[in-house]
Amino acid sequence: MNIPGSDKILLKQSPLELRNSFDRMEWAGAFGDLGTLIPFVAGYIGILKMDPFGVLFAFGISMVVCGAYYKTPFPVQPMKALGAVAITQAAQTAVITPAAVYGASLATGLFWLLLGLTGTASRVAKIISRPVVLGIILGLGMSFMIEGVKMMATHWVIAAVGLLGTILLITNRSIPAMFLLMLFGVICGVIMNPDATRELATASIVMRSPKFVLLDVTWNDFVIGVVFLALPQLPLTLGNAVIAIREENNRLFPNHPVTDKGVATSTGIMNIAGSAIGGVPMCHGAGGMAGHVAFGAKTGGALIILGTLLLVLAVFFSSSIDALFRLFPKAVLGVILFLTGTQLALGSSEFSKEKKERFVTLITAAFAMWNVGVAFLVGIAGCYIAKRGWLKL
């Protein structure tokens, strides 16, 4: 859901003019990606029993650095497929451990750093035609919307009030919609979850500092992390966190473009650094930028704001993170995720005039709602078939 006039403002900015802002809209936009951040971080902490400090500190420092470097709302997100496998497997078996997650993060970082520095990521990305890229973005947007609806279904009254109020205020620059949505979520959480409220009320401040955790990773942990977590994530990262985010950034901020090589290198660096201090695998998901922009962000200031808050939570309040996340209603997170998906899907709505290319976009989107890796293969195959003239529509 684009904020009227936002694209025009961004288009007028040259690379030299683009500066990070920290106004109320940047503050509001900073929280536009909580719909994906909180559920995954809560899963890592609550189910895998990972140290909240390392997880939040790695996210925080990565966001601050990315916001300062890119100067656009360039997102930092948990890797979704990897996170989903890690959390579900940890709940069912004892194979996936925090050390295995550190190993997966290190392996992921080394892989993408290599692809970025050698330029391989750019060469691979050139194979993917525009109809396939648009299909992936559209599919991701629709999958976000569907997941948002599922989360809203946990409490329809809260979701309806939050969604209606946010839509009515989404273009209001005097009262950013995200502030009221967050306040509404906190009020609902206090009423519905008194245990978490009491736990937060009695929370104490305990200052902590980073520690090197890779010494705890055995070869067995590293192999499990690579085979079960890192490898299945690679196609999704290429599609969503390299190609799609490059497309999304360069569409919204054409005077401040990024490259596939640069994004891959950035992904590698932040995962290598994050793995050393107890972080989880991270990426630059296109949905994150859609979420930040949908709620008002236009510069990297939004990332710096969110990253700084996460660093404060990690250093001083990491023992209370679980209660804080439990306080926030799932239905409100669903509203955020739904509107993020809307923003992402709208960004892919400029379909080709060629019927065959539109068909490729749609079938790619359909598969991307299920598995981005498979969507890549289907989309590439569809483009090849169309070019050969075998596709009759």
First-to-last CA distance in the chain?
32
- Of 85-89, 102-106, 121-125, 351-355, where does the model show the most confidence? 102-106
How far apart (Å, rounded) are the C-alpha atoms in residues 341 and 312? Answer: 29
Please state whether beta strands 77-78 and 282-283 pair in parallel, antiparallel, or not at all (unpaired). antiparallel
Residue 282 DSSP symbol: E
Phi, psi (degrees; rounded to nearest 5) at 202: -100, 10
Tell me the pLDDT band of 12, cut-offs 50, 70 and 90.
very low
Give residue 102's pLDDT band: very low, low, confident or very high (50, 70, 90).
Answer: very high
Q: Look up residue 133 and give its amino acid.
A: V
Q: DSSP states of 204-238 as a string?
A: ----------GGG--HHHHHHIIIIIIHHHHHHHH
Beta strands in 269-322 (DSSP E): 282-283
How far does Cα 137 stand from its chain's mean position? Answer: 13
Count CB neighbours of 127 within 10 A.
10
pLDDT at 375: 84
Could you write out the DSSP letters of every residue in 238-258?
Answer: HIIIIIHHHHHHHHH-TTS--
Residue 42 confidence (pLDDT): 82
Ordered by start, the domain boundaries in the chain are: 6-352
Residue 2 has pLDDT above 50, yes or no: no
Listed in sequence order, the residues at least 6 apart from 174 whose beta carbon sits closer than 8 Å to its beta carbon are none
Say how far residue 49 (Cα) sits from the centre of its chain: 21
Number of neighbours of residue 200 by Cβ within 10 angstroms: 17
Q: What phi, psi does 188 have (nearest 5°)?
A: -65, -40
Q: Could you tell me what percent of the chain has a pLDDT over 90?
A: 40
The predicted model scores a pTM of 0.81
| pLDDT tens-digit map of 137-191 | 888 888 888 988 998 999 999 999 999 999 988 777 777 888 899 899 999 999 9
Range in 30-39, 46-55, 90-99 with the lowest mean pLDDT: 90-99
Per-residue pLDDT averaged across 297-309, rounded? 96
Closest by alpha carbon to 257, among 267, 245, 268? 245
